[in-house]
Chains A and B, each alone.
Chain A
Amino acid sequence: MAIFFGIVFVLLVACCLAAPLWANHVAHTTATENHLSDTIKVDGETKNVVALDGVPIGPTWQGEFFLGADRNGRDIMVRLLYGGRNSLLIGVAAALMTTILSIVLGVIAGYFRGWSDGVIRAVLDIIWSFPVVILGVALGVALALGGLKIGPITIAGDSLAIPIFIIGIVYVPYMARPVRGQVLSLREKEFVEAARAQGAGPLRIMFSEVLPNLASTLLVFFTLLIANAVLLEAALSFLGAGVRPPSPSWGTMIKEGVDRIATAPHLAIVPGLMLVITVLSLNVFGDGVRDALDPRAKVRLEH
């Protein structure tokens, strides 16, 4: 089952990467182009893309407006694919950022112990005190206007890098703590002792002894992190503190859909289903990998 869902995820990613192909050759539009006053032929019948009372057309199941249009007459299928690109990009990039930060912090704290361990643990505990959604939202609202300035680099408030940065930070305690715990027990193992006795320095021990033994935990965490990052992106965008419109993402599309659910429920159902399938496939895959590699590991992420 895990392999099946792994393939589903890869296919989803491939579809989203192929978004320009669909947009240019099948739908003949872009993700942000409005078609408010256009008409389209469905089964030989001419219909308005957006009816006079503002209700957009539902799925036509043909090249243009395959899944219907939104209230601005934009093609849902095209937006879904481009939105998926953004959502998945944010998910993967944020998960990568969390993983790298967690490895660095967890290994330093677990291996060197002492004051660096104390400081890192205290910082992680403080971040951990905030509910994930609240911390994400607080950072989202604070960074939305002026953006972020790290040294010489300035990130604009409406850039995709902002949600990546936010989500990448928020999940660090949930991964860095278990990594630290594992490093703490690994450093007492005989093979580490042996490497040390042979005169290997701390860096060498980390890269050739500690990290390879963490690989299975890291892989499982990385998969589950992508799933949670995609969900958190949706939540932040839903609240208006994530991806900024008119850029599509599954979160912003769900928000637009929920606002108009009474007249055009397909606007909410379509991106939501896509999101659920993606997150589900990652969760099942991550679960399967964990069971295959280390069934006793307890990996948990907060929502």
Chain B
Amino acid sequence: MGRFVARRVFQMVLVMFAVSVLTFAIFNLIPNGDPAVRMAGRQQSASTIREIRREWGFNDSVVVQYVKTMEKVFTGDLKSYFTQLPVGEEIVKGLPRTLSLAIGAALLWMFVAICFGLYSAVKAGKFADRFLTIIALIGISMPVFWIGALMNHYLGFKLGWFPNGGYVEFSEDPFDWAYHLILPWTALAILFIGFYSRVLRSNVLDTINEDYVRTARAKGLGERRIMIRHVLRNSMIPIVTLWGLDFGAVLGGGAILTETVFDLQGVGQYAAEAIGQLDVPPVLAVTMYAAFFIVLLNAVVDILYAYLDPRIRLQ
């Protein structure tokens, strides 16, 4: 186990290095034109551009530029030249909101997808199954910001059933916190519910024909017990891996599209505003942090799996 962990961590560090090089290249090497001008964004005074060129080492070799960029991103020295605010602080400020959104949505989509997927598989081929399949397909075909904006306008603003955007701290009032987050959670979960329920449905249908399910039935176990103890448990394994990855993707990507619509003011909204202004430093930082987080999450999931299933360690 120790050797496996060491190897996996080493591999993770290598991938992180490669990811940082690619991010650096995306912002400073691949585009056409002066990187200092891009970095300045809407703050195009000659003195700012001179300052950027010196601070980021744009007059020096590529290696120096890379090292200086990494120093800036990981010492919290990075600031937006447009808003003059430090990027690190803004991200830390928004993080609890983004985490609240992502964790709640992930739990919601997993729970609903299990119900839908299991029901759909049990009723395979019948009307209920077809109906849920169509609903799932519509779910994966809707942009989250569009359905979110419509929900916020009609359910929040017009009908007044839910708050019209905004965020309340959990420590202040847990009920109000959840009440403000119900719509964002739902909007974000819809896409994944469509996806997961279909994957689960096909997994359940595959598992139902396994020998151990037949054995369980021959033993005289109740149908409900067979479904939950034997079928569902084994159908969940591939989904849990996806869950980890998609959670990372939501934290890094989906939140950007959801938060602005509901005015949650987390990291996602911060990033979305920076993108709208073509303000490079915050986008650079969010990209790097998101990719690093996903690489880390992948390694953690792999190590957990190796811990649970010893066969993986030997591969």
Contacts and interface: CB of A to CB of B under 8 A. Distances in A.
A258 B258 CA distance: 12
Contacts of B286: 134
Nearest to A145: B38
A47 to B, nearest CB: 24
Q: Which secondary structure characterizes the binding site on chain B?
A: helix
Interface residues of B, number: 51
Contact of B27 (A133, A142, A287, A302): A142
Contact of A147 (B33, B145, B284): B33
Contacts of B248: 131
Contacts, number: 156
B228 to A, nearest CB: 24
The secondary structure that dominates the A interface is helix
B204 to A, nearest CB: 15
Contacts of A302: 249
A139 B252 contact: no
Contact of B256 (A137, A148, A234, A275): A137
A268 B149 CA distance: 9
A141 B278 contact: yes
A258 B261 contact: yes
Contact of A134 (B37, B137, B199, B253): B253
Interface residues of A, number: 52
B5 interface: no
A129 B278 CA distance: 23
Nearest to B140: A283
7 contacts: A134-B252, A134-B286, A137-B256, A144-B278, A146-B38, A235-B143, A258-B261
Interface of A: 122, 125-127, 129-135, 137-149, 154, 227, 231, 234-235, 238-241, 254, 257-258, 261-262, 265, 268-269, 272, 275-276, 279-280, 283-284, 287, 300, 302-303
Interface of B: 15, 18-19, 22-23, 26-27, 30-34, 37-38, 137-138, 140-143, 145-146, 149-150, 153, 157, 191, 199, 248-249, 252-254, 256-257, 261, 271-272, 275-276, 278, 280, 283-284, 286-287, 290-291, 294-295, 298
Given A127-B22, A231-B141, A261-B153, 12 more contacts: A130-B19, A130-B291, A131-B294, A143-B31, A146-B34, A239-B272, A239-B275, A239-B276, A262-B157, A272-B150, A275-B146, A279-B141
